[in-house]
Amino acid sequence: MSWILIMFLHKFKQNKLALFGTVIILTMFFVGIFAPVLSPYNPNEINVDDIFLKPFENNHILGTDGLGRDVLSRIIWGTRVSIKVGFVATGISIIIGILIGTIAGYYGRRIDSVLMRFVDIMLCFPSFFLILSVVAITKPCITNIMIIIGLTSWMGIARLVRGEFLSLKEREFTQAAKIMGASNVRIIFRHILPNAMAPVYVAATFGIAGAILTESALSFLGLGVQPPTSSWGNLLSTGKSTIEFAWWITAFPGLAILITVLSYNLLGEGLRDILDPRISTE
């Protein structure tokens, strides 16, 4: 196992874009975890004397909004929200996708047919509009957002896992385990699933980026994280009406979303190059 890890790290270090993405992601983690320390001001503190201050004016590095709240502090606290939504929502989708993909791929036949038709039905609905519909019915809060995004984004992972299982269950090591009398549960979790996880890791990385974008879009529309809680999406929504003369309220949260999503995509591309043996990194 150690030599596999060494080879992975060696290939990973050669992928400069993936390294760059990883550094940005780790920086975002650091900012989110230590938000109370790094934030120069209370993100919800209203100061009528500091309304619409420009960047670097009166000790506000990224300026203030229409209520005098520090934009940098709100972006820092919004980082924590984005990380939480991205990882929890993606974790839910991974669990559901692995469960359905495993059952469909391993047992096949009628079970596979029924589950895949259900996946096809779910894929027929535009994901974002499905999420909008559910959020409009339920109470818009961060917990509901994470659950809803997770429950509506597992289909791709289910298909990936199913495809891997269909291939791996016919391999020699799986047949040998069956001949030796191993149970289905042992074959699935000890022999097949660990070898089927590589594409899941890649999909999870892209899924986190997608979840962050979805949460930002919902918050921008007023159906996501509700004020006064800071999120990058509702920061964009706050600044849209004043963008002509207070551009910084929209520009900096938008830049944070861009950099974060790009970083996860770069990491995902790097993992795909390393973990997929059919792709040459030379």
Residue 3 lies in a domain: no
Residue 281 lies in a domain: no
Boundaries of domain holding 71 = 14-275
Per-residue pLDDT at 58 exceeds 60: yes
Residue 8 lies in a domain: no
Predicted confidence band at 278 (pLDDT cuts at 50, 70, 90)?
low
Residue 102 lies in a domain: yes
Residue 97 lies in a domain: yes
Residue 25 lies in a domain: yes
Residue 2 lies in a domain: no
Q: Encoding tokens for residue 113?
A: 């047919």
Among 240, 255, 252, 229, residue whose Cα is nearest residue 66? 240
pLDDT per residue as tens digits for the range 106-140 = 998 899 999 999 999 888 887 788 788 887 787 77
Bond prior to 253 in cis (omega within 30° of 0): no
Domain containing residue 244: CATH number: 1.10.3720.10
Residue 266 lies in a domain: yes
pLDDT per residue as tens digits for the range 160-206 = 999 999 888 888 888 888 888 888 888 888 888 888 888 899 999 99
Question: For the chain, what is the domain count?
Answer: 1
pLDDT per residue as tens digits for the range 14-32 = 888 889 999 999 999 999 9
Predicted confidence band at 282 (pLDDT cuts at 50, 70, 90)?
very low
Output the pLDDT for position 4: 66
Least confident of 4-13, 47-56, 215-224: 4-13
